[in-house]
Structure 1
């Protein structure tokens, strides 16, 4: 394809993609070189973000979960948040958010361990998170208990490429001695 001829097809594919799409996948669909697609995706991401002298847009192109996807721009999160809260979109409960955080930071983790950390039964909440595709069974313990971890859907919804992008918890945790005592209790 000629210079700039990829832009239209790329944008059209990104608009209909239900999940992050890899440059190789797009290249195969368009019959072009994956490197060429990757360069154009990077150029679009810079343009949408207001780099290269272009005016910033209300959306941005991000590399997440092994592919590319269009998201609302982070700088408009307050407006999007008000829209989502004021609409009928399904949201996670506080209990589900807390359970999801425990799984994200401690994975792989068993349901009983999550219960001990949260201090409440989490069976229904874990089922909800499984149904929404945010967590999955990742194995079993020697005793046969299921272990849970987050999915690529979780990464996608959080706008992250990997779990290494989770914010560090250290600033919010008690001193080391208190943590040792807590760990021994659990």
Structure 2
């Protein structure tokens, strides 16, 4: 309850002078007990560690108490930008802007300030700064890892039938890709 980020089994094992397996088993047992007992909180495994959360049934009461009407929600632009980073990471601002079709510099600054994305090095070819999501992002989304992000396919528009190995008819969002000349199409 006093840590800023989820506590890992390895760290807890070190502090408690136990094996990580013993700690992991105990945490799973506690999580199950809290669920069976219907406690107002639950112990969840997220972002590579364990953390206490308010049980969903009581979330609105806790939100009302803690936030007292002051919620800082992300804008649609911020959510779209965050989604691009989450699914294409590590990714540069220019690539995010190309996917969204608008400049995302201001939105990226907001996501950085809120701790949802972070710098992840530089692109070797261009030197552009690359971005990725943070453990805080995973925690806020209630995910254990990026592999738990939902598949995108059900949310994409259905494309016209094309040959399986062909990219014909599939739009490119690569800002470095050049448009073919008219002469090349003939």
Report TM bin, short chain: 0.7 to 0.9
Unpaired runs of 5+ residues, structure 2, are: 162-166, 175-186
1:184 to 159, 172, 182: 172
Measure the CA separation in 1 of the matches of 2:129 and 2:150.
26
What TM-score do you get using the length of structure 2 for normalisation? 0.77
Map 1:32-71 onto structure 2 (within 5 A). 32-50=18-36, 55-71=37-53
Measure the CA separation in 2 of the matches of 1:97 and 1:59.
28
Q: Where is the helix percentage greater, Structure 1 or Structure 2? A: 1
Deviation at 1:105, TM superposition (A): 1.3
Matched, 1:165 2:151: no
Q: Where in structure 1 do 4 or more consecutive aligned residues deviate above 6 Å? A: 81-85
1:145 to 128, 140, 145: 128
Number of matched pairs? 168
Map 1:52-91 onto structure 2 (within 5 A). 55-76=37-58, 87-91=69-73
Q: Which residue of 2 aligns with 1:99?
A: 81
Matched, 1:21 2:3: no
| Higher relative contact order (Cα pairs below 8 Å, separated by 6+ residues) | 2
Deviation at 1:101, TM superposition (A): 0.9
Measure the CA separation in 1 of the matches of 2:105 and 2:8.
35
Measure the CA separation in 1 of the matches of 2:45 and 2:78.
26
Measure the CA separation in 2 of the matches of 1:137 and 1:81.
31
User: CA offsets, 1:114-146, max 9 Å, x none?
Assistant: 112222211011011112221112232211222
Judged with a 3 Å threshold, the aligned counterparts in structure 2 of structure 1 residues 147 and 183 are, in CA distance, closer, same or farther, namely farther
Unpaired runs of 5+ residues, structure 1, are: 1-14
Q: Pick the structure with greater CA Rg.
A: 2
Deviation at 1:84, TM superposition (A): 7.4
Q: Which residue of 2 aligns with 1:10?
A: none
What TM-score do you get using the length of structure 1 for normalisation? 0.77
